[in-house]
Amino acid sequence: MAYDNLSDFLNELQDDGELVRITAEVDPVLEITEITDRVSKSTDGGPALFFENVKGSAMPVVINLLGSYKRMCRALGVKSFEEVADRIAGLIKPQVPEGWIEKLKLVPQLAQLAKLPPRIVRTGACQQVIKLGRDVDLTELPVLQCWPQDAGRFITFGQVFTKDPASGERNVGMYRLQVKDKNTCFMHWHLHHDGCHNFMEYKKLGTQMPIAVSLGGDPVFPYMATAPLPPHTDECLLGGFLRGAPVDLVKCRTIDIEAPASAEIVIEGYVDTTEPWQTEGPFGDHTGFYSLSDQFPLYHVTAITHRANPIYPTTIVGKPPMEDFWMGKATERIFLPLIKMFVPELVDYNLPRAGAFHNLCFVSIRKTYPQQARKVMNAIWSMGQMMFSKIVVVVDAHVDVQDEEKVWFHVGANVHPGRDVVFNAGPTDILDHAAPVCGVGHKMGIDATRKFPEEGHPRPWPDEMVMSKDVKDLVTGRWAQYGLGSVLPETW
């Protein structure tokens, strides 16, 4: 479903009891974080929070917007993440029509796809108010300081729009921005980010790099900015696919780049590629630890445009679960069909909450030959952001990797440490403070599958205990006769 603006989404949430409005004055320095942290760790992620009275700013703040399974699904216009995965699977592996009737049925689907690329419009609500020159003041925004040791206030939920200077290809990412003063931020991107790649291309030319930072609009926009898309894929095309309608973009007022017309706020500016980088951070990150100070480029703000009565959307990160967990879980489910294209034996995978995305990855496979688990580990470590998976655990197809207890049971039962644990040197997550060198270290693979004789297990492998189906059915049918109350579920 396409939302014309953020307010439409918030109204739906309020009607369904998924939004709480807070009228008491709150401080954007630490207080909003503590409130949100408690709420986001409550049952099912808690409600979205709308702070109407934020100290030091005329703008309200909305947070925990996508912080539950239900709200994340609503933003995607589905009842479950698997619905999106099925749509993607249908695109990458379509059924070949056998007759002319089946071929005709494909015409509406193809016509719909043709309407999904972004379109440029002449005007947008994001430019109802335009502030240029001396009127530019980032301190008017209710930007949060999230954690006590943060170096300052950080914009955390902005979609960062950049372009390749040669091809003009658009990229949308989500990078934090530490506010330095009224018209300057730090642009925090890592070497593997597409935004940084575009920066390097501008640096070769010795020219300024135009950048737009968009806040608000359709709630699918933050997700589209974080999705791990293949190279040279426009995130706005994914946005159109998810919302079932094109993303309308409007040209910025001071730079040659476009931003969502429906945004609440758009920050326009540039990075001077000849300017020395300066110290940014520390920042309380999604790992649950502070990421350390480092050198990053300055982002010079040339304009701030916004709606007549803008809402400032933001997020906080820290020890899971928080809002970003649900966004990550959506990615896990949605991109399963794509991963299966490259790892066909894969049944399912799970990025457990405690792993903070990159620390743990559970994988189940249909094992048919020796050392197949190691082949899958190497495939995972060769795949985009999955390369940062610090610990990969591989189990057999019948093990439900969404049930972490079952995974660890099979690790304990099936792993011989001297044979089944492997280490692989390579790139690590920049935020992995345990790596002795930033961005470089080791990953661990654990093969918890049933072993073949060729894998160094010559003696027979015992069968796993499972009750016969006829006895299970018998007991279920007679349960009322046992006087044990309601029927208990079958065990695994």
Query: What CA–CA distances, in Å, run from 431 to 322, 380, 440?
Result: 17, 19, 11
Q: Can you tell me the distance from the alpha carbon of 50 to that of 53, in angstroms, rounded to the nearest whole number?
A: 9
DSSP 441-461: EEEEEEE-SPPPGGGT--SPP
Query: Which one is catalytic: 285, 324, 429, 432?
Result: 285
Q: Is 285 a catalytic residue?
A: yes
State the burial class of residue 435 (Cβ atoms within 10 Å of its Cβ: 0-12, 13-18, 19+).
middle
**Chain-centre distance of CA 75, in angstroms?**
13
With a CB cutoff of 8 Å and minimum separation 6, the contacts of 91 are 113
Q: Can you tell me the distance from the alpha carbon of 28 to that of 375, in angstroms, rounded to the nearest whole number?
A: 48
Return the closest-CA partner of residue 123 out of 278, 289, 359, 305.
Answer: 305
DSSP reduced 3-state for 203: helix
DSSP E strand boundaries for 122-226: 129-132, 154-155, 159-163, 170-173, 177-181, 184-187, 208-215
Is residue 232 within 8 A of residue 94, CB to CB? The reply is no
**Beta strands 119-121 and 248-251, pairing class:** parallel
Is residue 249 within 8 A of residue 214, CB to CB? The reply is no
Q: How does DSSP classify residue 97? A: P
Q: Annotated catalytic sites, by residue?
A: 285
